[in-house]
Structure formats: C-alpha cells, structure tokens
C-alpha cells in the first residue's frame, strides 16, 4: 500500500520510518518549498499544480500538519480515503469551532468568548475577568498570534499586535501542569489510549514530555480517555489524535487538539509497545491497532535550535537519539532524545545528564522536581 | 553523513531504517538486478559500470552481504573508509581461510580437512570418521553446495553433486543446539556483545532465534565473547560481526562467521536497547556504540515463502511485524516477527500463537520445549 502524506517534515519522516516495516511505501506532498522529510519520494508543489499527480499515485492519504486548506482535503477525500477526515482539520483550524465542539461533548474548557474588535476585546476581558489570553481564531499555532491581557486596558495594544479580525479570548486557567493524551482510532472504531504525558513548555515550545505522567490519579487518565473518545467517535476519526489539557484542582481542562501524531507522543518510539507513528499508519491502512502499553518510564527531550554535543548523548546507554537532519536555527525542532528508566528518580538523573549536552535546553522543571524538592 | 551500502536487500533496508534517526542518508549499490531495499537511492549496476559514481557520492561504505568480490571492496577502500575491512570479506569467502584463522586464534572448530578430488574426499572422510559434511570451499551459503557423507563410499556422489574443485570437509559435531553471538566493534576499538541467541534451523534456513538463549551457562557467554573479540581485534574489525556456534558437551565450537548484521540478531530491534542495525551504523560512522542490554526476552520468527495471516499477527499485542515488501517465493525470507515476553513460558506460548498464522513455519522446537517437556 502506498500512503500519501500531505506535508514533508519530521512527523512525515517518522511516519515513514514506522510504516516501511509494515510494507508501506510513501509519497510526500510538500507545499512549503522546504521539505525536510529526507526519505521517500517528495513532490514539491508550492503552487498546487501537482495535486492530481500526487493523488493518482497513492492508495490512502494522511497528513502530518493541520494547516492545510480544508478544501484541498475535501477534494482529495472525493477520490481516495483521507484519514483523519477533513472535518477534523476544519475543527482544528478554527478555535471557536473547536471550543464549541468541546462544549457540546461535555469536555471542560477555560471560559471563553469571541472578540471581533478592539472594543469587544476590552468588553470580553472585563466580562471574563483578567488575566485572559487572546488568540487569532484561525491560522495561529505554537504561541504565534497570541497576547495576554493583564487588564482590560491592554485590549487596544493586544488587538493591534495580533492583527486578526476575530479572536478567541480565554480566561486564564490556574493549572498545576500541562498534560496531553495521545489516542488512536481504527477504521473499525477500535480505540487505544496511550498513558497521559506531562509536558513542559518554555518560550511557547515543548521541551520535555514525561510519560506516563508522574503522580497521576487514576480518574485523570480515565477522564482524558473519555474526552478524547467522545471527540474521535463524534468525528468518525481514523488515526492518531492528540488532546492537550491543563491539570487543575478541579480536574482536567481541554486546551486544544491536534489531528495527527504529536511531539508529546514521540516518547512512544522506544517507550511503548507500539509507537504513535506505527499506530497511525496501522489505523490509516485499516489494520488492527498495536498495543499502547508503556515499556518502562520515558522522558522525551526536544533538541531545539542547535544540536549540542550529539556524540556525548550517543555515549549514554539510556538515551535514544532521533535527529531530523535539519539545519540549525533558533527555535527550530532539530530532533529529540528519548530517555528510558525504571524509576522516576533514575529518570530525573538521566534527563539531567542528557541536558548538559544540549546547551539551549531550559532547566528540567516538572512535577518530578517538585517531588524531589518536597 | 552519507553511507554507501553494497547490496540492496532487507538487511540494507533495516540498516537505513536505523540510520535515518542518526541523520545518515543512504545510497545502495545493487549488483543483483533485483534490489528489494525499498527506500533510499539505489544504483542498479549488474555490469559494474557505475561503481565510481557510487563511490563519489558517499562518505563511508559498508555492505549487507558478503558475496562481494574482494577486489571491489579493496578498490573502494583506497578511496573511502570501508567497514568492515576487505580482509574480513576475504576470510568469510573462503572456508579454509576462516577455519585456519579460527584455529590460529584458539577458537575451537569441528575437525576439518581440505579435499581437492573425489579420491581425496574419500580419504579425508576415512581419516576424520563419518559422518562428515563436505562444503564448497568458496561461494557456498545457506546450505547450498553441501553434502553429507554417511560413509566414505558416498565420496564419489558427493564430489559430483557439489561440483567444486576444493572442498572443506568437517567432522560432524554432536551438538545440543545452534547458537550465535552478535558483537560490534567501534572505530576506536570499543567492543559490545549482545547476549547469545539460540537459533532453530529447518531445511537449512533460520526459522527462530531466542535471545537471550535460555538455560545458558555464564561461561558460555564469556567464551563466545572471548572468541568473537579475538576475531574482531585480529581483523581490526569495525561494525557488527556474527559468529555462529554449536553448543556441545565440551563447550562451544565455531561454525562460521558473517561480517555483517545477521538474521539471528533481528530480535534486537525491539529486544535490545540498541539494535544491531543502529550499532552497525554507529560503528561505521565513527560514533560511540549504543547499549546492547536486552529488554526482556525475545523470539524472532522468520516469515518464509508466504506471508500468512499478517492481519492476525498485527492483532497480537506482543508481536512486532517487520515486512521486507518482497514477493512470495518458496524459501524466501519475506519478513520476521519479534515476540517479546517477560518469562520463557510466556514466550513459548506467544510464539505458538504467532506460528498458527504462519502456515509455512515448522513446529517451534527449541531447548524451551525440551524444558517444558522435562
């Protein structure tokens, strides 16, 4: 079976590495003009002229990024199976649609309102109570097109800074940590849920994911599974879906979803019986899903901006290095290191050992540190 | 770094899958006219016209099969680093040179003699004492070009059947089982040894490898490590080397070596901290070696001739399916399944579950069965 992947970055690369052992072949369709997938056939098509060619050469279509015109996905879906479905894309590209869907399905979210002018932004900020975060309703990702309002007086400046005609405004959530759940749904509706990971961000970029998340209460995993199950069943979803959440004193609150394999699931390559990449390929191909059981404890460390001392990392017996073969650039994801351990204490120690060779990495502060301090 | 691989079969494929995450790229050089690697760039060159082109495009050269003209490897080695060294190839292509080297290094072998005529074959058979096995001294592999002599009278027929001017004749060894050790040596001489695997053959083809080999005495692992270490140091070897051995009442006896990643090491993909493929790439690239620690107990089951019910295998949570995307043909290696377990009892049960979906597979008879019967 030949799988067409819309997008040609590191997620597509890791999908392919997981798919070849299942006898899949790959064609990547790149709209950016700078594919980094580095293996398989790549059709570079900034002007959208070769989409039919791409389509004629594949059996099924998936995507590795969600900033894809929905019309394109819909057009493709008329000809070949496209997983996940275009509706999932549509929802993810519009924060209002996403939050509305969450609400309909009983998935808790921060309080939110829409603003469509500087004046309404101010009114919304007053109504919700500051601080609030305003985000462009469409086209924003990775912390871009966002502003925090500490008081309603910040509305004018925030409106100008974001420069978007429609904003999602959310009340700040008091959370203890950020977590996510990665799940997969097969063509036959079979479901599997990876354990929740704890995610540590710095400057708007994911830096660490620890899985299974330490000190997790059993009902928290169950709640997350219930929420993502509702989403997948409602959307008739096929493939891997990720739901980012805040853990609060009142339980989980949903932040956003990503209709694809996710950075916070990279730990599954060595840390689970079947990786998120293999399970996505299995789902998209109509195969049974693989086991999502964890294999020990994992921490994924992103390599951001510069590679650091890779040779030193390769010396560490517990570190698995995954490079994307991309050039260095500030803020760019260049690879990740999966660290395995049998206890959280050992995991912390091993992560610290790795981080000394990754100069751009922030201090490893997670619930694990709080534990070791307390 | 771009690695040139001589050969373009499933071993090259798995080397590439392990090498991409270390930011390597690959060019395969195929002399057979039927490459099956299925990813990366392949230069098909049955007449040897494009070797210079291949060489100009790679930083280092390795190979995935040992039936490669030594002159070619030597020529390449004048231009670019070739790992393992051409001498390792030379030794492996000549049973007399191989057994002689084993003897020089104090590695036990079956008693052997060379025969260069039907008459001398008869004399050698009488001298060694039948049964003996006669093998073409060069160019034989996977049980081809071999004959068993139950009595010296078989010499004439065996000589005709093999049709080779020089034969290696070995006295039969009474062995309890066949085992192998896979080891890796870095550019700096660093050494790492995987645990010995027990290998079950049927009709001259490897069917199962169990690792770590059950009921293994500690000194057996130590002996195997000592033997393969002698070989690697003597040859100045860089990369993965495999040594096939017989386990006998008097300890290990060496059968043959393979200067490459080996079918009996495929279990390392999920069953060890670092796979044989990644460690070969690390060694060839001059990186530090990765940990060879096992992760639980493994059994590798070869998929031979026909694929069987792959969908059923994919349903089993403990089975990892690795397909080579090759057409079915009797006796052809099409893929393998790695089964993981925490106990040998569980492993046996799981392997039996898998084998029911692989119709061509012989019964799983290993030391594990003998244990469960006794």
**Can you give the pLDDT at residue B140?**
60
Say if B37 falls within a structural domain. Answer: yes
Task: Give me the interface pTM, i.e. the ipTM.
Answer: 0.93
Which positions of chain A have pLDDT values less than 50? 372-374
Range of the structural domain that residue A116 is part of = 111-171
Contact A317 B291 (CB under 8 A): yes
B302: domain CATH number is: 3.30.470.20
B342, B344, B350, B352 alpha-carbon torsion, rounded to 10°: 170
Option in A21, A318, A323 nearest B322 (CB)? A21
pLDDT digits (tens, 9 = 90+) for A273-292: 999 999 999 999 999 999 99
Option in A21, A288, A311 nearest B288 (CB)? A311
Three-state secondary structure readout of chain A: CEEEEECCCHHHHHHHHHHHHHCCEEEEEECCCCCCCCCCEEEECCCCCCHHHHHHCCCEEEECCCCCCHHHHHHHHCCCCECCCHHHHHHHCEHHHHHHHHHHCCCCCCCEEEECCHHHHHHHHHHHCCCEEEEECECCCCCCCEEEECCHHHHHHHHHHHCCCCEEEEECCCCCEEEEEEEEECCCCCEEECCCEEEEEECCEEEEEEECCCCCCHHHHHHHHHHHHHHHHHHCCCEEEEEEEEEECCEEEEEEEECCCCHHHCCHHHHECCCHHHHHHHHHHCCCCCCCCECCEEEEEEEECCCCCHHHHHCCCCEEEEECCCCCCCCCEEEEEEEEECCHHHHHHHHHHHHCCCCCCCCCCCHHHHHHHC
Distance CA(A145)–CA(B289), nearest Å, equals 44
Distance CA(A148)–CA(A156), nearest Å, equals 12
Interchain CB contact of A77 with B (< 8 Å): no
Kindly state whether residues B193 and B240 are assigned to the same domain: yes
Kindly state whether residues B6 and B131 are assigned to the same domain: no
H/E stretch holding B155: helix B155-162
Total of domains in chain B? 3
Say if A230 falls within a structural domain. Answer: yes
Is B336 marked as binding a ligand? no
**Residue that finishes a domain, picked among A156, A171, A186:** A171
Q: What is the DSSP letter of B317?
A: T
Residue with tokens 């299974």: A212
Kindly state whether residues B210 and B137 are assigned to the same domain: no
Option in B17, B288, B315 nearest A314 (CB)? B288
H/E stretch holding B135: strand B132-136
Kindly state whether residues A157 and A192 are assigned to the same domain: no
Say if B99 falls within a structural domain. Answer: no
Is B64 marked as binding a ligand? no
Q: In Å, what is the CA distance from B148 to each residue of B113, B124, B152, B203, B254? A: 14, 13, 10, 14, 18
Task: List the single best residue of B2, B39, B316, B323 to mutate versus A (max A Cβ within 10 A).
Answer: B39
Q: Cβ contacts (< 8 Å) between A38 and chain B: which residues?
A: 20, 25
Say if B97 falls within a structural domain. Answer: no
Q: Cβ contacts (< 8 Å) between A40 and chain B: which residues?
A: 39
Q: What is the pLDDT along chain B (374 residues), one digit of tens a residue?
A: 999 999 999 999 999 999 999 999 999 999 888 889 998 899 999 888 999 999 999 999 999 988 888 998 999 999 999 999 999 999 999 999 999 999 999 999 999 999 999 999 999 999 999 999 999 999 765 556 899 999 999 999 999 999 999 999 999 999 999 999 999 999 999 999 999 999 999 988 999 999 999 999 999 999 999 999 999 999 999 999 999 999 999 999 999 999 999 999 999 999 999 999 999 999 999 999 999 999 999 999 999 999 999 999 999 999 999 999 999 999 999 999 999 999 999 999 999 999 999 988 888 888 888 754 43
Contact A317 B21 (CB under 8 A): no
Is B202 marked as binding a ligand? no
B66: domain CATH number is: 3.40.50.20
Interchain CB contact of B193 with A (< 8 Å): no
CA of B282: which chain A residue's CA is closest? A314
Kindly state whether residues A138 and A54 are assigned to the same domain: no
**Can you give the pLDDT at residue B143?**
58
Kindly state whether residues A141 and A186 are assigned to the same domain: no
Could you tell me which of A108, A65, A288 has the C-alpha nearest to residue A184?
A: A288
Kindly state whether residues A8 and A148 are assigned to the same domain: no
Interchain CB contact of A371 with B (< 8 Å): no
Distance CA(A364)–CA(A300), nearest Å, equals 11
Q: What six digits make up the tokens of B8?
A: 């373009």
Say if A304 falls within a structural domain. Answer: yes
Is B75 marked as binding a ligand? no
A167: domain CATH number is: 3.30.1490.20
Kindly state whether residues B70 and B209 are assigned to the same domain: no
Say if B29 falls within a structural domain. Answer: yes
Say if A204 falls within a structural domain. Answer: yes
Kindly state whether residues A137 and A162 are assigned to the same domain: yes
Interchain CB contact of B342 with A (< 8 Å): no
Q: Is B213 helix (H, G, I), strand (E, B) or coil?
A: coil
Interchain CB contact of B282 with A (< 8 Å): yes
CA distance B324 to chain A (A): 6
Option in A25, A287, A325 nearest B311 (CB)? A287
Say if A283 falls within a structural domain. Answer: yes
Option in A25, A317, A318 nearest B38 (CB)? A25
Is B7 marked as binding a ligand? no
Interchain CB contact of A325 with B (< 8 Å): yes
Kindly state whether residues B283 and B318 are assigned to the same domain: yes
To the nearest 10 degrees (0 to 180), the angle between helices B10-19 and B276-285 is 70
CA of A283: which chain B residue's CA is closest? B314
Kindly state whether residues B45 and B119 are assigned to the same domain: no
**Residue that finishes a domain, picked among B171, B198, B217:** B171
Cα-only R_g, chain A = 20
Kindly state whether residues A123 and A205 are assigned to the same domain: no
Q: Is A245 within 8 Å of A107 (Cβ atoms)?
A: no
Contact B287 A314 (CB under 8 A): yes
Q: Cβ contacts (< 8 Å) between A23 and chain B: which residues?
A: 323-325, 335
**Residue that finishes a domain, picked among A171, A193, A219:** A171
């Amino acid at each position: 079976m030949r799988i067409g992947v819309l997008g040609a970055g590191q997620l597509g690369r890791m999908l392919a590495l997981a798919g070849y052992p299942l006898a899949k072949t790959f064609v990547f369709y790149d709209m950016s003009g700078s594919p980094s997938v580095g293996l398989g056939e790549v059709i570079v098509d900034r002007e959208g002229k070769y989409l039919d060619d791409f389509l004629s050469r594949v059996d099924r279509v998936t995507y590795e990024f969600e900033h894809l015109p929905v019309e394109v996905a819909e057009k493709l879906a008329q000809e070949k199976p496209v997983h996940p479905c275009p509706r999932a894309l549509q929802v993810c590209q519009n924060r209002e649609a996403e939050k509305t869907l969450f609400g309909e399905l009983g998935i808790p979210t921060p309080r939110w309102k829409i603003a469509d002018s500087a004046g309404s932004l101010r009114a919304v900020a007053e109504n919700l109570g500051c601080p609030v975060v305003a985000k462009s309703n469409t086209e924003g990702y990775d912390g871009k097109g966002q502003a925090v309002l500490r008081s309603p007086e910040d509305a004018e400046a925030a409106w100008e800074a974001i420069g978007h005609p429609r904003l999602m405004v959310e009340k700040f959530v008091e959370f203890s940590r950020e977590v996510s759940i990665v799940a997969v749904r097969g063509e036959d509706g079979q479901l599997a849920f990876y354990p929740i990971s704890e995610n540590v961000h710095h400057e708007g970029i994911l830096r660490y994911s620890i899985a299974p998340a330490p000190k997790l209460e059993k009902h928290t995993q169950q709640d997350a599974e219930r929420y993502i199950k509702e989403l997948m069943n409602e959307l008739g979803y096929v493939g891997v879906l990720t739901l980012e959440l805040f853990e609060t004193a009142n339980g989980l609150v949903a932040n956003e979803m990503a209709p694809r394999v996710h950075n916070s699931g990279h730990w599954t390559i060595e840390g689970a019986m079947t990786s998120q990449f293999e399970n996505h390929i299995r789902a998209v191909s109509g195969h049974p899903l693989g086991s999502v059981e964890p294999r020990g404890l994992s921490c994924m460390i992103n390599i951001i901006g510069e590679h650091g001392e890779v040779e030193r990392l390769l010396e560490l017996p517990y570190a698995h290095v995954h490079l994307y073969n991309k050039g260095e650039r500030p803020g760019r994801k260049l690879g990740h290191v999966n660290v395995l351990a049998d206890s959280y204490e050992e995991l912390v120690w091993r992560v610290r050992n790795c981080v000394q060779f990754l100069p751009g990495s922030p201090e490893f502060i997670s619930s694990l540190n709080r534990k070791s301090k307390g």
